[in-house]
Amino acid sequence: MSTPPSTRLGAAYWRLWTASAISNVGDGVLLAALPLLAARTTHSRLSVSLISTFFSIPWLLLALPAGAVIDRMDRRHVLIAADMFRGALIGGLALVAAFSEVRIWMLWVLAFGLGVGEVFFDSSSQTILPALVPADQFERANGLRYSAEITGNTFAGAPLGSVLFAVAVWLPFGTDAASFVVAAVLAVSLRGSFRSATPPEAGSWRGEISEGVRWLWRHRLLRSLAIALGLTNLAFAAAESTFVLFATQRLGVSTRLFGALIAIVGVASVVAGLVGGWLVGKVGRRFAVLVAAAAPIFTMLAIGAVPVTWWVVAMTALQAMMITVWSIIAVSLRQQMVPDHLFGRVNGVFRWFSWGAMPIGALLGGLVAQRFGLRAPYFFGGAVLAVAYVMVVSRLTGPAIAAATLPRDDPPDEAASSAVEPASDDTPVDMTRDPFDDLF
């Protein structure tokens, strides 16, 4: 007799969700305020794009060692340290903005530091979630978190960031710093141990990282997804690196309305996050991914071809919706396929591919915009997305998903067999019962 799927996510999950939601409101404030401050500081398109480059460089430099750290430590402690570090960093910028003049190089340094904190926070957060919810709820849990992320970034944070920036330059950055501190306090309240029961033995960091690299590289499906997502993120980073200039100079969006533009675009992402898990269950993972990966090719080209505000908003909203569905499936597949004692390292390798491409894309986007104009990065991005789609279509087949999602400690060989004995469930996270679970 099959076990009915669980419908409760539990109080511990909701505390993690709340911490993420509050932190993302602060991120949304920064999302609007930081590019506005950059545009005020310099008129160089390349200098503005370098903020995105420095923000994403840590994924290229630190994703692999961060995964090894996360597999050794209590993941909750990493969350707390990352939020406190980011709060202190952004609080420092608020003080500089209040009492002195901000230089563009300061924003590059800030972006790099925030990127370092994000590498450890995001990697730890994804590693913790499988310990808080049952496997049949991964898509729902990830979808709700993406909804909170987009709602905080766009609806609540971005408009607030624009308004606060208009009141005082330092104010949005002080608000963001406070949000990180509150999120860290909520992370402290999580009960239980989030350290792997079988952490890697003390040895060389290179050997531990190499183990994660080998595991992912032998896993044909996840390896292909990592490369495809890397190309996808490169394309979006290229377009987004100069978006503030595209919006203000090409579309004529005012400084005060820039946050509202971001908020409008976020509608589709929130809807996708709320219904994404249900939608994937109805149409299947493969069909959902194929549609979600194809649509951005056309929206990216459409934005470059018709730079009209209402059209750009519509296309970007559709694009954001599809990318949210794509992300929900990709994260849920990793959480289901990768054994816990390797998750930090394998996830780090995966994100090294997928997020490490972003600084390259941001730099290329700035160079393309500088040479060919603000519309050119969208045509460049559309071409890169088409290459990624070919890889997804050829690798993400129904049998490949079915074979890869069987529980196991070793990844399938290149010619994955469908006759694999499922392994027993030996989830290596020891958690005490949380009395607040009875309230949810």
* Residue 433, domain member (yes or no): no
Total domains in the fold of the chain: 1
Domain that holds residue 319: 11-196+210-415
* Residue 90, domain member (yes or no): yes
pLDDT digits (tens, 9 = 90+) for 381-433: 999 999 989 888 877 766 766 665 555 545 544 444 333 333 333 333 333 33
* Residue 395, domain member (yes or no): yes
Q: Are 319 and 297 in contact (CB under 8 A)?
A: no
**Residues near 349 by Cβ (< 8 Å), separated by ≥ 6?**
63, 64, 67, 209, 212, 213, 216, 226
* Residue 285, domain member (yes or no): yes
* Residue 3, domain member (yes or no): no
Hunting for tokens 């800030």 — which residue is that?
Answer: 110
- Residue 152: give its domain's CATH number: 1.20.1250.20
* Residue 190, domain member (yes or no): yes
pLDDT tens per residue, the chain (440 residues)? 344 445 567 788 888 888 888 887 887 788 778 888 888 888 787 787 788 778 878 877 888 888 878 877 888 888 899 999 999 999 999 999 999 888 889 999 998 998 898 888 877 877 787 778 877 777 778 777 777 776 776 667 777 887 888 888 899 899 889 988 988 888 888 777 777 666 656 556 677 778 878 888 888 788 888 888 889 889 988 988 888 788 888 888 776 677 666 666 666 666 766 666 677 777 777 788 888 888 999 999 999 999 888 898 888 888 888 887 877 777 777 777 777 777 778 877 887 877 778 888 888 998 999 889 889 999 999 999 999 898 888 777 667 666 655 555 455 444 443 333 333 333 333 333 333 333 22
* Residue 6, domain member (yes or no): no
Q: Are 165 and 39 in contact (CB under 8 A)?
A: no
* Residue 203, domain member (yes or no): no
